[in-house]
Amino acid sequence: MRIEDGRKLDFSDVLIRPKRSTLGSRAEVDIRRTFRALHTGKEWTGFPLMASNMDTTGTFAMAKALLAFGALVALHKYYSLERLVEFFRGSDASNAFFTLGTTEADMEKLSLVKRQAKIDKLCIDVANGYTEKFVDVICRSRDENPDALIMAGNVVTGDMTEALLLAGADIVKLGIGPGSVCTTRKLTGVGYPQLSAIIECADAAHGLKGHVCADGGCTVPGDIAKAYGGGADFVMLGGMLAGHDECEGEMVYEDKDGAKVAVGMIFYGMSSQEAMDKYAGGVADYRAPEGKSVIVQYRGPVDRTMQEIIGGVRSMMTYIGATKLKEIPKRTTFVRVGGQLNTVFSD
């Protein structure tokens, strides 16, 4: 047993300190970024935000809606083969990741879709990215998909970030337990404060010319701004994009003046009892659920939320004088708040 000293930080532990700026308007900032993939050299340009590969948010409709904002979607892996082929043959798939796990069935499904449609973005997703099997799957996926952009995770430490990049990933997904409907930290005691994970893993990834995606922990637009400030190249959202028309969660209705009115939507973690009952026939006797189910407020079209997110990021950029999104980490100074004397962390 050993204890690692030094305080680790979540988004709620810090604020971004404002700085002098010559910017006169939010309209003057550029929220698009261009990234060059580590293993293929191909470039992608857009707003580096993506919907999580949860079955409520990683949907075809969400992909279409976020395409208008230059953002991305990691599709959930439970769509049928036929629906995936139809989608990836269409014009709305250019911003979508095909999601798979580490089973042979997952690999076979990908192979079958690829025979009939073009797949150029893969999300290899597991809760625990620290296993040798996971690294082997990334190596195999890179060998079998040499031209694809591959995102893989989840991990929270620099050493494993480097291992996944060297195995074939272009983007490493970061986060163990920060999600609003994830209970891994409570059940297992395992995890890592999300902002510190971003700072440490981004440093490791950028040294190898790879990239990171912060997955989980954002509850307000300011958290997304802090993630970018900590060095995240991409930010993945689940709960913040739940409850919209483009989601596929079960609606909750109330009777108001004799009419049924949508008031909420059921949202659950993909390791929850609900998800495993739905897709795996129940919880296996060797494991326990690591997610929960909640009702989120119904929020109409996702366009409104995206405008709020983009507005928050733009406003933050004017506060710190960042003209381009890629400048944010260099312009960010975090101030630790609450509990103890404030401490300044500058990138």
Per-residue pLDDT of the chain (347 residues; tens, 9 = 90+): 888 888 899 999 999 999 998 888 888 999 999 999 999 999 999 999 999 999 999 999 999 999 999 999 999 999 999 999 999 999 899 999 999 999 999 999 999 999 999 999 999 999 999 999 999 999 999 999 999 999 999 999 999 999 999 999 999 999 998 888 888 888 888 889 999 999 999 999 999 999 999 999 999 999 999 999 999 999 999 999 999 999 998 888 888 887 888 888 888 888 778 877 778 777 777 777 777 888 999 999 999 999 999 999 999 999 999 999 999 999 999 999 975 544 555 55
Nearest to 67 by CA among 277, 264, 295, 246: 246
Q: Give residue 2's pLDDT.
A: 86
Q: Give residue 341's pLDDT.
A: 45
Q: State both tokens at 44.
A: 């992608």
Which residue out of 182, 213, 218, 247 is catalytically annotated?
182
Residue located via tokens 């944010």: 328
**Per-residue exposure over 252-275, b if at least 16 CB sit within 10 Å of its own CB, e if not:** eeeeeeeeeeeebbbbbbbbbbbb
Residue located via tokens 């997904």: 173
Helical packing angle, 104-114 and 132-144, nearest 10°: 10
Residues 6+ apart with CB under 8 A from 210: 38, 161, 165, 169, 170, 171, 172
Helical packing angle, 302-320 and 221-229, nearest 10°: 50
Residue located via tokens 């293929």: 40
Burial of 249: CB neighbours in 10 Å, binned 0-12, 13-18, 19+ = buried
Q: Give residue 345's pLDDT.
A: 53
Q: Is 213 a catalytic residue?
A: no
Q: Give residue 344's pLDDT.
A: 52
